Amino acid sequence: MNAPSSINQLHARRLGLLSQHEAVALVHVDCPICRSEGVSAHSRVTLTSGGKSIIATLYQVSADWLATNTIGLSETAWTGLGLDDKGEVTVTHSPPVQSLSFVRQRIFDDGLNERQISSIVRDIVSGAYSDIHLAAFVTAISARPLSDGEVTSLTRAMIETGDQTEWDEKTVVDKHCVGGLPGNRTTPIVVAIVAAHGLLIPKTSSRAITSPAGTADTMEVLTRVDLSGDEMREVVRQTGGCFVWGDGVGFSPADTDIIRVERALNFDAPGTMVASVLSKKIAAGSTHIVIDMPVGPTAKVKNVVEARQLSNVFDTVASAFGIHLRIEVTDGSQPVGRGIGPALEARDVLAVLGNEPDAPADLFEKSCLLAGAILELAGIAPPGEGKSMAEDTIANGKAWAKFLAICEAQGGLREPPDAKYKRPVYAPFNGRVASINNRKLARAAKLAGAPDDKAAGLDLKVRLGDQVGQGEALFVLHTETIGELTYVLDYVHANPDIIELTH
């Protein structure tokens, strides 16, 4: 298929282009090799160097900063090819991606079988899908929702295309929140409590998908979270728990691509959500899983009907893999805790674990509820006694000691940063807090810079039902730049229903 290698190679040039997604390669329009192979701009091409191959999107450059015998590579392409400071790269046509015909089939017609889904997921993991292909796949399985069988197949394919961990212990626990509720940073507290009871909880967390912070974003404020799979296993063996960013450990790598596209589209669909959650838990070796499902008009799950539908999918897929699952439907009418944004949420977590007098009571309550559910599901606590057992574990300082031990094993506890600009938003009149719009509050925290700026976000000063006086702060915006402060204030003023008061 290739012309002789002598005329088929280009000198690799590291462009330092940070393209988290597709591997990108740039060649000069007069590049002779590309002419001989007949590859043209926007082709998906195969790049080969020293035995390694990747698929990349090719762009052409008509200016002379790139030599005609050179191929400029993005960081993804450079590291994917395992290049050091120089190397030769062969450019050839990419073979047709056969599984794209299954994506087309899924857009227009039938469901997919296990083999077809497996082939799609393998191609996603190998980098053969462009953003357009990924977006089409994610949209198709949202517009025509995945069947239970498809979700099970997708989950299995996502597990099998990544690393998997097994443990000697028969019971390995985990928890997950389906999200949609700002703040709600229960995970670090739950992990500390259940690990203090001797349970194994190899917790991996994601970064924010559509929210101002994921647990990984929040815990990164306090300690190192980008552990390798081996480092993670070592921490869990030492301490029983961990707080690790899921993408780093190699479980369910397809999920990273799917989530990236869902983030750009600002949605996540039930089927991919279940596959995403369960594939990572099962790959991590978990056997007993508690799902926190907040329900409220502006949460991700809007009402009990949606909650029941989503629960059914979780139950079906968990059964197919022999997983013990318990779903806790929780109040999703307002944020949990006060901070929204990585550092502000980390501050709340430390306050609860440290038994501080002004710690947010709702975060304490909810964390103990979930930890209690795990203690019961795993047979540590008798039914109905999990929550009080969890509360004791915070009160007696054992959860705090375990939290410190885990952070220590991951590289030490860090101090949360403080934002450069803080700006209160005031109540326009005397009244009672009638509603809080989770989505708009989350949007404001994101416009403030969260989660990319760790210190950015907002600090809630009121809860539903509170009586506030005119000029009293409803919340305080935290930003690292003036640009973002101005930007988020524009949004807040254009959306007075973020927090609504009644006279």
Q: Does 209 bind its own copies (CB under 8 A)?
A: no
Collapsing DSSP states into helix, strand and coil, what is residue 287?
A: coil
**Residue among 144 and 224 whose Cβ is closer to its own copies:** 144
User: Which of 53, 312, 437, 481 contacts its own copies by CB under 8 A?
Assistant: 481
CB of 28 to its own copies, least distance (A): 9
- Name the segment binding its own copies (CB under 8 A); options: 17-25, 212-220, 337-345, 356-364: 17-25
Q: How far is the CB of 75 from its own copies (least distance, A)?
A: 7
Which span (40-48, 185-193, 401-409, 410-418) binds its own copies, by CB under 8 A?
40-48
Provide the residue type at 190 as one letter: V
CB 359 within 8 A of CB 340: no
How far is Cα 503 from Cα 431, in angstroms, rounded to an integer?
5
Question: Of 276, 480, 498, 499, which lies in the binding site for its own copies, with binding defined by CB under 8 A?
Answer: 480
**What is the distance between the alpha carbons of residues 395 and 405, in angstroms, rounded to a whole number?**
17
**Exposure of 264 by Cβ count < 10 A (0-12 exposed, 13-18 middle, 19+ buried)?**
middle
> Structure tokens of 179?
């999200």
**Rg of the chain in Å (alpha carbons):** 25
Tell which residue, 394, 340, 401, 342, has the closest CA to residue 367. Answer: 394
Q: Name the 3-class secondary structure at 21.
A: coil
Residues 77-96 that bind its own copies (CB under 8 A): 92-93, 96
Nearest approach, Cβ of residue 397 and its own copies (Å): 39
Q: How many residues bind its own copies (CB under 8 A)?
A: 68
Beta strands in 405-494 (DSSP E): 421-426, 431-436, 457-460, 467-468, 473-479
Residue 100 within binding range of its own copies, rule CB under 8 A: yes
Q: How many CB atoms are closer than 10 A to CB 388?
A: 12
The yes-or-no answer on residue 123 being catalytic is no
- The one-character DSSP state at 336 is B
Based on the shown chain and the rule CB under 8 A, indicate whether residue 5 belongs to the binding site for its own copies.
Answer: no
Q: Is the distance from CB of 366 to CB of 478 less than 8 angstroms?
A: no
Catalytic residue, candidates 174, 257, 268, 348: 268
Residue 53 as a binder of its own copies (CB under 8 A): the answer is: no
**136 interacts with its own copies by CB under 8 A:** yes
- Contact residues: its own copies, CB under 8 A: 1-3, 14-21, 26, 29, 35-38, 40-42, 59-63, 65, 75, 92-93, 96, 100, 103-104, 107-108, 130-136, 138-140, 142-144, 261, 264-267, 269, 443, 449, 452-453, 479-484, 486-487, 490-491
Q: Kindly list the catalytic residues.
A: 268
